Amino acid sequence: MKDFRKCTVYQIYPKSFYDTNGDGLGDLQGVTRKLDYIKTLGVDYIWLTPFFVSPQKDNGYDVEDYYNIDPRYGTMEDFETLAREADKRGIRLMLDMVFNHTSSRNQWFVKALAGDEKYKNYYIFKKGQAPGVPPTNWESKFGGSAWEYVPEMDEYYLHLFDVSQPDLNWDNEEVRREVAKVVRFWMDNGRPEYP
């Protein structure tokens, strides 16, 4: 494989790319079926936008489960087939992992809201400046305050995007270790194996 800085990267949003089962949504099998065409374009890498389990508040960029594929896109077997077939054509896969934040339905955040200090520290919770006043005047990219008040804690959590996308605390070494585990999992599952 040539120097990645000289490679051609082709971004695919699976949901709107190619539907193989007639449900109106693109899927991973659709990407596999179009690999020969993609190869004719001179593509070195396919950049796949998120296909993980997600409530889809932000088109999959709100990840509920980093370890599983959203059934609307297919199965792990579909992903492994895609990785294997892409490799046969000299095409590498890049996965858009989304590690700035998670979905508020992610088990880490659910545990944080339940009072588990370990998981609370996976996110950025702060006291307000005064009653009813967020920690800062930061605005979310989706509009409004970037802070959401949690009455049970009398604290706010940071969400630079949608309120359902709490930001991860990258100052926490445990968060960095969890993220590294996710990356290793997908590197292992996406590594083609031949008999």
Residue 5's pLDDT is 83
The pLDDT tens digits for 23-32 are 999 999 999 9
Q: Which of 158, 136, 132, 161 is closest to 147 using CA atoms?
A: 158
Reported as a single tens digit per residue, the pLDDT across 65-106 is 999 999 999 999 999 999 999 999 999 999 999 999 999 999
Torsion sign across C-alpha atoms 101, 103, 174, 139? positive
End-to-end CA distance of the chain: 22
Q: Does the predicted model carry a pTM greater than 0.85?
A: yes
Q: Please tell me the distance from the alpha carbon of residue 124 to that of residue 95, in angstroms, as a whole number.
A: 25
Q: 150-184 pLDDT, tens per residue?
A: 999 999 999 999 999 999 999 999 999 999 999 99
Of the candidates 12, 2, 144, which has an alpha carbon nearest to the alpha carbon of residue 82? 12
| Residue length of the chain | 195
DSSP 136-183: S--B-TTSSBSEEEETTTTEEEE-SS-TT-PBB-TT-HHHHHHHHHHH
- Dist CA 156 CA 127 (whole Å): 6
- How far is 57 from 63, CA to CA, in rounded Å? 10
In terms of Cα–Cα distance, which of 157, 149, 165, 132 is closest to 62? 165
